[in-house]
Amino acid sequence: MKPDLEVVDVLQHESFKVWGHGYPFRTVRWHFHPEYEIQLITETSGQYFVGDFVGRFAPGNLVFMAPNLPHNWVSELPEGRTVERRNLILQFSTEFFCQRILTFPEMRYLDGLVAEARRGVVFADATGAAARPLMEELLTASNGRRLSLFLSLLDLLALDGGRRQLASRRFSPDPSSYMSSTINQVLSYIDQNLASDLRESDVADLAGQSVTTFSRYFRKHTGMSFVQHVNTLRIHRACELLVDSGLSVADICFRVGYNNVSNFNRHFLAQKGVPPSRFRALYQMNVVSAA
């Protein structure tokens, strides 16, 4: 089964993305992305899949994966039960890692760990326990402290002599093949045309499906409706522009694909809990206080 593409949006003013989610959640599926990922399980147990590896996980399960390595964690929970925070995730691009971090001579000791990550690496329980406070703090850290925590986490992983690789040597990710699947072509198309007038009926035509069939297909693979997915990506991109540009709220509204400001404000408030102008002011306040 070909994995689904996960679109990872790292904000332009950040070098890496740190976040967490509960269970069930829309990204809990067999998927891949062109970013490195460090994932720590904080609650639940179950089965996990990395490349052609299948194993058991429990709280403290810490895994480091190279780009395009398919993976999934499936928690075993009674029907109807949900978990607010199942894991912590750190994702970063190859450009940032290889062209920024690994260019320092002092960081070459990470070469072995990076090579092992192509098959996925799982770490000792003690390393998972030590990584948790670092990743928890990373959720809210800023400026130099954020980078310091990131390097401390990498150091922790590199010094774990009990780590082991997961996927077999014969397993080789094939992202070009993955992208040939219909859902991945659709997700890529949406990401590249976010500022245009995206209509579900038009995208369904591109996928060669009726709107009804496409709607079910899209929700099955993403965990949300087409409209929800588009709005989530648009608001995320709006956040980037609010903190990284001097554009007005109205200009940002049209740049991310909304056709009127009131509609943009409504969706932004629903997702972020504050209007766009307040979001920008709060971010600037945080920058000043951290200076």
Considering the domain architecture, whether residues 138 and 231 belong to the same structural domain is answered as no
Domain stops at, among 131, 165, 199: 165
Total domains present in the chain: 2
Confidence of residue 248 (pLDDT cuts 50, 70, 90): very high
Domain stops at, among 139, 165, 191: 165
Query: Does pLDDT of 43 surpass 80?
Result: yes
pLDDT of residue 80: 86
> Which residue in the block uniquely carries the two structure tokens 């490349």?
51
Helices (H), 200-260: 200-207, 211-222, 226-244, 249-255
pLDDT of residue 44: 97
Of residues 248, 245, 239, 246, the one with CA closest to residue 282? 239
Considering the domain architecture, whether residues 69 and 159 belong to the same structural domain is answered as yes
Report CA-CA distances (Å) from 155 to 63, 118, 130, 239, 261: 14, 18, 11, 31, 46
Average pLDDT over residues 269-287: 85
Considering the domain architecture, whether residues 120 and 188 belong to the same structural domain is answered as no
Confidence of residue 88 (pLDDT cuts 50, 70, 90): very high
pLDDT of residue 112: 95
Separation between Cα atoms, residue 90 and residue 289, nearest integer Å:
25
CB of 157 within 8 A of CB of 64?
yes
Query: Does pLDDT of 74 surpass 80?
Result: yes
The amino acid present at 12, given as its one-letter code, is Q
pLDDT of residue 12: 75
Helix crossing, 143-158 with 125-138: angle to 10°?
A: 170
DSSP letter at 147 equals H
Q: How far is CA 137 from the centre of its chain?
A: 18
Of residues 73, 66, 70, 65, the one with CA closest to residue 21? 73
- Kindly state whether residue 279 falls inside one of the protein's structural domains: yes
Average pLDDT over residues 69-82: 92
**Domain range for residue 251?**
181-290
Query: Does pLDDT of 175 surpass 90?
Result: no
Residues paired with residue 91 on neighbouring β-strands, in sequence order:
17, 37
> Which residue in the block uniquely carries the two structure tokens 């009926």?
201
Query: Does pLDDT of 184 surpass 80?
Result: yes
Q: How far is CA 94 from the centre of its chain?
A: 14
Mean pLDDT taken over the chain: 91
Strands 4-5 and 31-32: parallel
The better pLDDT of the pair 126, 185 is held by 126
